[in-house]
């Protein structure tokens, strides 16, 4: 096992001296050998009262001249003073890799923070790694099936691609991420890595408990750079998680699901570091190197001949402004956008994915096939027509619609309910057994609903089921009863939604 990040690479120490401290920015002078860019330096702070030694870790970002370097602190700088000795570790920031990191929780330095003991069977690797070359990348576009109907049918994910997950608090974002991790472990026999950038410690602790209760922790790694940590730490935690993911892809030839929450916090941390280093800000106060920094992270998420790293990234859009530079640069890397709707969540339509706002670059006939593409287009068209008819239903009633429009409303409402799904990770709360639905079963169900095979079944028969055949087990067709029930339900819900929010009514 190689040395850790906080230990010198050899016995010959390169020692410098602090000459200036400005918050998290530290200038260090070296008399003999100047450290390389990205080298890790340490300062020992002795606590006389407690009788122990604490290390302040700093990273070299700039060589000022032949004798001085400018660094950014990765830990709090309280207690530092000019004249203190600084030791050059000779290493860049290192991350632990190997089978020993599974089921563990780490900080940016690769130190366990789950109180489960020390690490065994690991190696250390630099977090600064180049993206795969073009010759190493796989040129085939493959679909990453999640077992979740609405995603696989309408927003297919790319194996080795990046998907953005847009959602606020309380709409089921964590549940959806947890379910994807569960399905990844159970179906693809892969590894899941969760990277929290700028996470609240409360959210990290809750996620850890939920993953443990769901039984997916043995094939999962969690890495956190929390909100209260310095910007340098939050800026590097993404690279640390990617280094772990690259080990499982390249060395163990396993598929990896990398979940990042939140990618905007990575850009924000980079902006803070840039400002602290004295760089002139670019448009809207962002760092001039934002595009390069984001690309260096995103381009490492790729599909190679050894395996694939598929990423689901939570994306915060500042002030809902999609022209913000952070959002624009992030969108250019994404292959799919999944939008969670609070309105759908309030109606119990889980997962609360808005099928009309979500989109995927993989949804083309050349990739998913002609049948899948045509069915997805018909589903979107039906749901779009229903959205346009909601105001008319709320004002005039369902009876004023033409027979064709009434058929469209019925199909759309049955599609909405069929695209709900019970999750394995919520079994203990809902008492509904989780369902993993194949792509063929999902497409078959949508096709049969569009062909009006289930127009005589009550809508409730299609709610929270797996494949479409389960609807026949839950209920029997009753044309008159189902028609009356569905009509009353449609009018009541449409009127309620129109009064609350005409634009996003169910």
Q: How far is it, in rounded angstroms, from Cα 209 to Cα 291?
A: 35
CB 326 within 8 A of CB 353: no
* Residue linked to tokens 């730490």: 233
Cis peptide before 112 (omega within 30 of 0): no
Helix axes 370-396, 479-500, angle to 10 degrees: 70
Mark whether 378 is an active-site residue.
Answer: no
Q: How far is it, in rounded angstroms, from Cα 187 to Cα 146?
A: 9
Mark whether 173 is an active-site residue.
Answer: yes
Q: 148 in helix, strand or coil?
A: coil
Q: 131 in helix, strand or coil?
A: coil
Burial of 106 (0-12, 13-18, 19+ CB in 10 A): buried
CB 308 within 8 A of CB 138: yes
Mark whether 272 is an active-site residue.
Answer: no
What does each C-alpha distance from 163 to 144, 236, 334, 362, 396 come to in angstroms? 11, 21, 5, 11, 41
Between the two ends of the chain, the Cα-to-Cα distance in Å is: 57
Q: How far is it, in rounded angstroms, from Cα 261 to Cα 228?
A: 15
Output the furthest CA–CA distance in the chain (Å, rounded).
91
Catalytic residue among 22, 200, 209, 479: 200
Q: How far is it, in rounded angstroms, from Cα 165 to Cα 152?
A: 15
Strands 256-261 and 52-63: unpaired
Catalytic residue among 59, 199, 210, 416: 199
Q: 111 in helix, strand or coil?
A: coil
Q: How far is it, in rounded angstroms, from Cα 425 to Cα 342?
A: 20
Q: How far is it, in rounded angstroms, from Cα 29 to Cα 166?
A: 46
- Single out the residue of 436, 414, 419 nearest to residue 145, CA to CA: 436
Residues 6+ apart with CB under 8 A from 107: 113, 223, 224, 225, 233, 237
Q: How far is it, in rounded angstroms, from Cα 149 to Cα 438?
A: 8
Catalytic residue among 125, 173, 300, 390: 173
Phi-psi region of 110 (alpha: psi -120 to 50; beta: other; left: phi over 0): left
Q: How far is it, in rounded angstroms, from Cα 60 to Cα 92?
A: 9
- Single out the residue of 309, 314, 313 nearest to residue 245, CA to CA: 309
Residues taking part in catalysis? 173, 199-200
């Amino acid at each position: 096992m190689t040395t850790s990040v906080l230990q010198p690479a050899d016995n010959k120490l390169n020692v410098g001296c602090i000459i200036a401290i400005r918050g998290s920015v530290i200038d260090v002078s070296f008399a003999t050998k100047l450290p390389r860019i990205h080298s890790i330096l340490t300062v020992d702070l002795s606590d006389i009262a407690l009788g122990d030694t604490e290390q302040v870790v700093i990273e070299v970002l700039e060589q000022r001249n032949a004798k001085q370097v400018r660094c950014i602190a990765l830990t709090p700088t309280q207690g530092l003073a000019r004249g203190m000795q600084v030791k050059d570790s000779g290493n860049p920031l290192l991350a632990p890799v190997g089978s020993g990191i599974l089921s563990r929780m780490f900080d940016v330095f690769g130190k366990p923070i789950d109180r489960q003991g020390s690490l065994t069977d690991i190696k250390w690797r630099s977090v600064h790694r180049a993206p795969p070359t073009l010759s190493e990348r796989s040129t085939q576009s493959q679909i990453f099936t999640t077992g979740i109907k609405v995603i696989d049918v309408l927003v297919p994910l790319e194996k080795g691609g990046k998907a953005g997950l847009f959602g606020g608090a309380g709409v089921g974002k964590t549940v959806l991420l947890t379910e994807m991790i569960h399905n990844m472990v159970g179906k693809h026999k892969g590894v899941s890595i969760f990277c929290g950038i700028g996470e609240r410690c409360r959210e990290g602790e809750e996620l850890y408990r939920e993953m443990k209760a769901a039984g997916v922790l043995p094939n999962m790694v969690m890495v956190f750079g929390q909100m209260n940590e310095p910007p340098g730490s939050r800026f590097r935690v993404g690279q640390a998680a990617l280094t772990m993911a690259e080990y499982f892809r390249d060395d163990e030839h396993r598929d990896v699901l990398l979940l990042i929450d939140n990618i905007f916090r990575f850009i924000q941390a980079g902006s803070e570091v840039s400002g602290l280093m004295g760089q002139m800000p670019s448009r809207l106060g962002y760092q001039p190197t934002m595009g390069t920094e984001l690309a260096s992270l995103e381009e490492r998420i790729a599909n190679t001949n050894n395996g694939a790293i598929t990423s689901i990234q939570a994306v915060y859009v500042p002030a809902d402004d999609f022209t913000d530079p952070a959002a624009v640069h992030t969108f250019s890397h994404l292959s799919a956008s999944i939008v969670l709707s609070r309105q759908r969540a309030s109606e119990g339509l889980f997962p609360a994915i808005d099928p009309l706002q979500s989109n995927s670059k993989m949804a083309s006939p050349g990739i998913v096939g002609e049948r899948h593409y045509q069915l997805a287009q018909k589903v979107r068209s039906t749901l779009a027509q229903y959205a346009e008819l909601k105001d008319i239903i709320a004002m005039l009633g369902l009876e004023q619609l033409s027979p064709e429009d009434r058929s469209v409303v019925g199909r759309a409402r049955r599609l909405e309910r069929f695209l709900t799904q019970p999750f394995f990770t919520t079994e203990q709360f809902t008492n509904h057994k989780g369902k993993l639905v194949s792509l063929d079963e999902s497409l078959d169900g949508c096709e049969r609903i569009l062909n009006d095979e289930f127009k005589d079944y009550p809508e409730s028969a299609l709610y929270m089921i797996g494949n479409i055949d389960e609807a026949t087990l839950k209920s029997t067709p009753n044309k008159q009863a189902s028609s009356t029930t569905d009509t009353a339900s449609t009018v009541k819900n449409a009127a309620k939604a129109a009064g609350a929010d005409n634009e996003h009514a169910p």
